[in-house]
């Protein structure tokens, strides 16, 4: 806490019971993953494979089918197109880490060009009509977007809070704001990947928070977003706990994949 900027708006969240501990436990899990000898041995092969799993998983949260074999190509169908968007957004996120450090909003807009085929792709919404596959509701008016996004950018660039906390808040804010007419949730989930990489926590994208979220299920995801939207200390803590658990469940799968690769040597 002493290392934080005293006016950092995330300081007060760290004071909520359980939040600092959740960030600490999750960061420790990431460190253990990245220093795991089996993971390090197979890192080059694991990165593209986990990226595909994450891409399919983020699309599945919006309603697509999660394939048994992530190496397969999406089927030619509306749901297959959604899977393709998830794969593209996730892959692009891993290419935009450097740019995200200085121009996060520009990168999020770029990701959206892969998340939508509409004419307004890459552009913030100008109405309150949005696609809401999770049926979260409680959409903030579009007139508030510019101010809220500017505040989010300031947090992403300047906050000295733990990367886990910054990632959790960015994800929740984007899922709440739904800044684009279509595909906002894909972009919101990709922001976690971007922040963990930009903050040098997971530069290789081995943490599959998207897959962890998929394993926890859509109802739990929606409930956690709604808890965040409540604005209460309990709700914020519940969301951050959900985000930490999603990361840790993704880590468990990456470890399993590394161990499986070891048995095939």
Q: What is the pLDDT of residue 246?
A: 99
pLDDT at residue 6 in the model: 56
pLDDT of residue 94: 96
The string over 64-95, giving b where at least 16 C-beta atoms fall within 10 Å of a residue's C-beta and e elsewhere, is: beebeebeeebeeeeeeebbbbbbbbbbbbbe
Residues 148/93, Cβ–Cβ less than 8 Å = no
Helix (H), strand (E), coil (C) string for 48-84: HHHHHHHHHHHHHHCCCCCCCCCCCCCCCCHHHHHHH
Task: Provide the percentage of residues in the chain whose pLDDT is more than 70.
Answer: 97
pLDDT band at 78 (very low <50, low <70, confident <90, very high): confident
Distance CA 61, CA 32 (A): 27
Task: pLDDT band for 2, please (50, 70, 90 cuts).
Answer: very low
* CATH class of the 11-263 domain in this structure: mainly alpha
CB 149 within 8 A of CB 112: no
Burial of 231 (0-12, 13-18, 19+ CB in 10 A): exposed
Across residues 56-72, what is the average pLDDT?
A: 93
Written as six digits, the tokens of 120 are 């307004």
What per-residue confidence (pLDDT) applies to 4? 47
For the stretch 136-186, pLDDT in tens is 999 999 999 999 999 999 999 999 999 999 999 999 999 999 999 999 999
**Region 56-62 average pLDDT:** 98
Confidence category of residue 5, pLDDT binned at 50, 70, 90: low
Banded model confidence at residue 262, pLDDT cuts 50, 70, 90: confident
Q: pLDDT (tens digit, 9 = 90+) per residue, 87-127?
A: 999 999 999 999 999 999 999 999 999 998 878 889 999 99
Q: Is the pLDDT of residue 39 over 70?
A: yes
Whether 33 contacts 39, CB under 8 Å? yes
Cα separation, 199 vs 252, whole angstroms: 21
| pLDDT per position as a tens digit, 221-244 | 999 999 999 999 999 999 999 999
| Predicted TM-score (pTM) of this structure | 0.94
CA atoms within 13 A on the CB side of 4: 20
């Amino acid at each position: 806490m002493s290392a934080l900027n005293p006016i950092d708006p995330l300081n007060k969240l760290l004071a909520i019971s359980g939040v600092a501990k959740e960030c600490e436990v999750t960061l420790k899990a990431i460190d253990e993953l990245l220093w795991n000898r089996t993971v390090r041995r197979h890192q080059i092969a694991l990165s593209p494979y986990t990226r595909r799993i994450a891409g399919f998983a983020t699309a599945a949260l919006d309603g697509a089918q999660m394939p048994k074999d992530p190496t397969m190509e999406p089927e030619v169908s509306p749901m297959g197109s959604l899977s393709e968007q998830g794969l593209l957004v996730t892959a692009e996120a891993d290419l935009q880490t450097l740019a995200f450090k200085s121009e996060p909003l520009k990168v999020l807009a770029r990701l959206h060009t892969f998340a939508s085929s509409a004419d307004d792709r890459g552009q913030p919404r100008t109405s309150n009509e949005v696609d809401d596959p999770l049926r979260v509701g409680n959409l903030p008016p579009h007139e508030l977007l510019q101010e809220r996004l500017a505040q989010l950018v300031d947090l992403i660039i300047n906050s000295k809070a733990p990367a886990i906390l910054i990632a959790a808040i960015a994800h929740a804010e984007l899922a709440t704001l739904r800044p684009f007419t279509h595909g906002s949730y894909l972009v919101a989930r990709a922001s976690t990947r971007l922040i963990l990489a930009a903050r040098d926590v997971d530069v290789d994208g081995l943490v599959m928070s998207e897959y962890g979220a998929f394993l926890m299920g859509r109802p739990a995801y929606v409930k956690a977003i709604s808890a965040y939207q409540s604005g209460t200390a309990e709700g914020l803590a519940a969301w951050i706990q959900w985000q930490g658990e999603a990361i840790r469940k993704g880590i468990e799968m990456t470890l399993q994949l590394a161990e499986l690769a070891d048995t095939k040597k």
